Chains A and B, each alone.
Chain A
Amino acid sequence: MHEFSVVQSLMELIEKYAEENKAKRVVKVIIRVGILSGIEPHLLELAFNTFKEGTIAEGALLVIERENLKVKCQECGAEGEKDELNTLCPFCGSLNTNIIAGQEMLLKSLELECEDET
């Protein structure tokens, strides 16, 4: 299960951004996980909740947005979302398509509580 090592990388990013922004606390973490990214959302959540203890993201809420597979057809030019995990064009059935969404795992945004100002 590589969700633990993915979360380790995620934590490093979070800590970097929190420090750069002089955050006291990370309140919310929004990530986007493509259906073809190889990530199991519930395993990721489990790993996140284990790793966040004792970090700046200790109390943070993890929001996982699922992103569907989307292809662009090189034959008929159409773009469409896929229900099944294959890259056939949903309109003409061609194999000649490019994936335009659904493969990535992104840290989208962070909600930070910043330094108190006096």
Chain B
Amino acid sequence: MCRECGCSVNHQHEHKHEDTKTLEVFTKILEANDRQAQENREHFEEHGVYCINLMSSPGAGKTSLLEKTIELVGRELRIGVIEGDLETNRDAERIKSKGAPAYQITTGSACHLDASMVHKGIHHLPLEELDIVFVENVGNLVCPASYDVGAHLNVVLLSVTEGDDKPEKYPVMFRSADLMLITKTDLLPYVDFSVDRAVSSAKKIKPNMDFMMLSTKTGEGLEDWIDYLKFKVKFYRKAFK
């Protein structure tokens, strides 16, 4: 091998060296993001904080769910929110008015959050006083699926008004999720949405996916959701003690 340039041809070097060399690298393109995401996770773990990434189409009910969740857990679980929904400060204000600390990431026109944006948010939250940090991702079923933000649990919300074919249309997103929340179930009587179809097609791409149904309007399923959170936090703590 040529020492000067590492090229694989064993040649002499009197020539003007015009040839090229191939460098095999096999590096993940989003390697830097993955590294930052891992750092975020460790950051949360140092403080015993469980991080949950909420993803969905715009308007599927992420902020409404956060508001209800903060109301219902009371003092039992202390919640903080990193808010990544677009432009306006409204979502962060909605959270703060429920008494939970929230930090709004200004994403500009970004269509997803990445690990470094979330890292910034981490330093604006009082982690030592929290049990769960929710990341409300940008409303989008495509991009957020490719970016690890350092959460321990990825949740996708699917509202019944969006249609039961979403898991088939957005397999990358549904593959990335650990839990699917079927939201706005109060509207089921008015739309053609087959829960069976949504769940079975999600399971075809993510066999061990958990799923739950809820409505923030009627309160249906919220108790199970809160129990699920408590359970997750409890076992997370056990693993890190």
User: Any chain B CB within 8 A of the CB of A37?
Assistant: yes
Q: Is A108's CB under 8 angstroms from B24's CB?
A: yes
Residue of A nearest to B172 (CB): A38
CA distance A9 to B20 in the complex (A): 24
User: Any chain B CB within 8 A of the CB of A101?
Assistant: no
User: Any chain B CB within 8 A of the CB of A114?
Assistant: yes
Given A38-B142, A111-B22, A116-B17, A95:B207 Cβ within 8 A: yes
User: Any chain B CB within 8 A of the CB of A56?
Assistant: no
- Contact residues in A for B7 (Cβ distance below 8 Å): 114
Interface 1/0 per residue, B20-37 and A, CB below 8 Å: 111111111111110000
Residue of A nearest to B33 (CB): A9
User: Which residue among B27, B111, B147, B201 has the maximum number of chain A CB atoms within 10 Å of its CB?
Assistant: B27
User: How many A-B pairs fall under 8 Å by CB?
Assistant: 122
Chain A interface size range = 35 or more
Chain B interface size range = 35 or more
- Contact residues in A for B204 (Cβ distance below 8 Å): 86-88, 95
Q: Is A1's CB under 8 angstroms from B17's CB?
A: no
Q: Is B207's CB under 8 angstroms from A6's CB?
A: no
CA distance A51 to B206 in the complex (A): 35
Q: Is B207's CB under 8 angstroms from A96's CB?
A: yes
CA distance A106 to B142 in the complex (A): 19
CB distance from B215 to the nearest CB of A (A): 28
Contact among A2, A107, A113, A118 with B146 in the assembled complex (CB-CB below 8 Å): A2
- Contact residues in A for B111 (Cβ distance below 8 Å): 1-2
User: Any chain B CB within 8 A of the CB of A109?
Assistant: yes
Q: Is B22's CB under 8 angstroms from A1's CB?
A: no
- Contact residues in A for B173 (Cβ distance below 8 Å): 38
User: Any chain A CB within 8 A of the CB of B196?
Assistant: no
User: Any chain A CB within 8 A of the CB of B143?
Assistant: yes
User: Any chain B CB within 8 A of the CB of A62?
Assistant: no
Q: Is B5's CB under 8 angstroms from A31's CB?
A: no
User: Any chain A CB within 8 A of the CB of B85?
Assistant: no
Contact among B4, B20, B30, B110 with A27 in the assembled complex (CB-CB below 8 Å): B20
Binding site for A on B (CB under 8 A): 4-7, 13, 16-33, 110-112, 114, 142-143, 145-147, 168, 171-173, 175, 201, 203-207
Binding site for B on A (CB under 8 A): 1-2, 5-6, 9-10, 12-13, 17, 21-22, 27-28, 31, 36-39, 85-88, 95-97, 103-118
Listed by A's residue number, 29 A-B pairs whose Cβ atoms lie within 8 Å are: A1-B142, A2-B142, A2-B146, A6-B30, A9-B29, A9-B30, A12-B32, A13-B27, A28-B20, A31-B29, A37-B146, A37-B172, A38-B142, A38-B146, A95-B204, A95-B207, A104-B28, A105-B28, A106-B27, A107-B25, A108-B26, A110-B22, A111-B23, A112-B22, A113-B19, A115-B4, A115-B17, A117-B4, A117-B17
